[in-house]
Amino acid sequence: MRGLVIGLSVSAAFVVGCVAAQFMVPPARAAGVQKWDYFCFDEEGADAVTRKAKHAGTQGWELVTVDTGGNMDSTWCFKRPAQ
């Protein structure tokens, strides 16, 4: 009998807590969607790529991907938050 009373008490406390949470906790809101600007260039040769990548970095661009496409030149793509 004592176990039944404890079980009912715990169940009742759980239900009361769930109901109270509906009124006390504000609903979650989605954050604003981040928008990005993209910049890509094709280049062959480490010196030219390094020069262009460093210049892009000083302007706030972040490297996202490099696509070699199986040939000598590569496509380098950067992103930064849209303004």
Question: Are 79 and 61 in contact, with CB atoms under 8 Å apart?
Answer: yes
0.75 exceeded by pTM = no
Q: Give the domain extent around 53.
A: 36-81
**Structural domain includes residue 69:** yes
> What is the rounded average pLDDT of the residues 29-50?
89
pLDDT at residue 22, rounded to an integer: 66
**Structural domain includes residue 28:** no
**Structural domain includes residue 2:** no
- The rounded percent of the chain whose pLDDT value lies above 70 is 88
Total tally of structural domains belonging to the chain: 1
> What is the rounded average pLDDT of the residues 46-72?
91
Q: Higher pLDDT residue, 81 or 44?
A: 81
**Structural domain includes residue 25:** no
Cα gap 48→55, rounded to integer Å = 11
